[in-house]
Structure 1
Amino acid sequence: IELISAMPGEMERLLLQQRLDLAIGYFSQVQSAFDYRELFIETQHLYCAPGHPLFTHANPGDQDLQACDRVGHPYRFLRSDEPFQGERCSARSEQVEGTLAFILSGKHVGYLPSHFARTWEDKGLLRSVRRSDLSFDVAFHLARHRAQVAGDAQKAFEEDLLAAFA
């Protein structure tokens, strides 16, 4: 078993080239060559840290949000109805750890999975921006190439993985 961390587009490319057997992530789901099986839903909240103007703001308005510098995610499949797509974006990160570092600087706001941010929230180092319309859910899927014949080990691994998230 080899475990790699890559952007969804890269994982899809490796699956298409049949250099990867399975991939887990949130994908565009436009590849007709793949089978996608939903594993779980992850809730994302917009966060800020001490030192950021929104950290003590009880109910920020749209203008307050647009004044914020955000952390961009180059791999996200943006939808027109997705919350907060602010215009200012001087930081980019492909990984949650990088996004966290930018947010903890107190200079940026950014989206993090709620379960990942909880520890930092409990320590008072992060706070979700208090507006219910800023959160969204992301479905994570197990993807595999339809034409690739799975061996016994891959089948067993896939079955165990699906059972674990059932």
Structure 2
Amino acid sequence: MQVHDVDLRLLRIFVAIVECGGLSAAESRLNIGRSTISSHLSDLEVRLGIKLCKRGRSGFELTEPGRITYQASLELLQQCEAFATTVASSKDELAGRATISVIDTMVSDPRCGVARAISALRAKSDKIQFEINVCEAREVETSVVNGRSLVGLGVSRHQLRGLEYQPLHNEVNYLYCGVGHPLYDCDASETDSLLAEAEVISSNYTRDKESRNDGLNYQNSAVAYHDEGIAHLILSGQFIGYLPEHYASYWVDKGVFKPILPTKYNYQIPVMLISSKSSASSPLATALIEEIKRCHHHQ
């Protein structure tokens, strides 16, 4: 089939639906109503002559042709972005979509150079569109691998082939309890016995016991996949958990959180600037990487 402008628009809508996990969830990203999104999806299915997904009470699910179309759509849209960027670079101007994936709560770290890099790039060109996706650590890497993002800021235990990893800084994490937890106001002599009983929040984000080996009580009675979720659980006064110092300091300063034996219970994770080796020649990707590095080191 011939690909026209209308098809590219429909494919972008389809990609958004898949990445959001359904039509309703895609409303806020696309800024259009569910019925309109449904109509556009139906139009695309008619244009392609295939059923892309199952949707109904059982939820949203891609068909096999839908899965293949999604992957092909990503490749096509990336090529369109690359074309626009290449043409712009031939005119010595920065243009295109600067997509950045980050792990959550990076915004509270004063060392993070993303905001300053965006400001610097906007000063150089008003033809750049910025998109930031906040996701889990592994998603940051896969987002860069599949070309969804030009760069990522995250952590990595097992580096993926085809990606460049440039260390930015070490993020220090401490073990915290909240007001109402027995450890918050206990005597020093009671700390060890109360720690043995305290339930620790599990999180695949930091690989838990595999990375810390701290001998604490992980019962899976409290699980969170983002720092914000961990904070909610600590605020309940029922659980203890690890958080980055820069993020937890908001509650520490208010007297709501307290680090537990910080010299013993702490660990560091290197925060990386992650980019694709294959996109290194893109002028926009190069400019974005250089600005993030420069702004990170000149806080």
| TM more than 0.5 | yes
TM-score normalised by length of structure 1 = 0.88
TM-score normalised by length of structure 2 = 0.51
Structure with more relative contact order (C-alpha pairs < 8 Å, separation 6 or more): 1
| Compared CA separation, residues 143 and 81, structure 1 to 2 (3 A) | closer
Matched, 1:24 2:153: yes
Whether the 8 Å CA contact 1:83–1:136 is kept in 2: the answer is no
Note the C-alpha offset of 1:103.
0.2
Partner residue, 1:14: 143
For 2:205, which of 65, 70, 75 is the aligned residue?
Answer: 75
Matched, 1:103 2:234: yes
SS of equivalent residue, structure 1 residue 53:
coil
Letter matched to residue 149 of structure 2: L
| More strand, by proportion | 1
Note the C-alpha offset of 1:79.
6.4
Matched, 1:126 2:273: no
Distance in 2 between the 1:91 and 1:11 partners? 24
What does 1:10-159 correspond to in 2, within 5 Å? 10-59=139-188, 60-61=191-192, 63-78=193-208, 80=210, 82=212, 84=214, 85-159=216-290
SS of equivalent residue, structure 1 residue 3:
strand
Note the C-alpha offset of 1:150.
4.0
CA offset digits 1:112-147 (Å, max 9, x no partner): 111111121121111011241101111100111212
| Compared CA separation, residues 39 and 18, structure 1 to 2 (3 A) | same
Distance in 1 between the 2:238 and 2:208 partners? 23
Distance in 1 between the 2:256 and 2:245 partners? 14
CA offset digits 1:12-38 (Å, max 9, x no partner): 222222222111111124213211001
Worse-superposed segment, 26-35 or 72-81: 72-81
Partner residue, 2:17: none
Whether the 8 Å CA contact 1:45–1:135 is kept in 2: the answer is yes
Note the C-alpha offset of 1:66.
3.1
Q: How many residues are matched?
A: 165
| Compared CA separation, residues 81 and 27, structure 1 to 2 (3 A) | closer
Distance in 1 between the 2:132 and 2:246 partners? 22
Distance in 1 between the 2:270 and 2:276 partners? 19
What percent identity do the matched residue pairs reach? Answer: 23
Unpaired segments of 5 or more residues in structure 1? none
Whether the 8 Å CA contact 2:179–2:235 is kept in 1: the answer is yes
Letter matched to residue 162 of structure 1: K
Whether the 8 Å CA contact 1:71–1:89 is kept in 2: the answer is yes
Tell me which stretches of 4 or more aligned residues in structure 1 moved more than 6 Å. none
Whether the 8 Å CA contact 2:234–2:240 is kept in 1: the answer is yes
Note the C-alpha offset of 1:69.
1.3
Distance in 1 between the 2:135 and 2:270 partners? 17
Letter matched to residue 200 of structure 2: R
Aligned-residue Cα RMSD (Å) equals 1.9
| More helix, by proportion | 2
Note the C-alpha offset of 1:149.
4.0
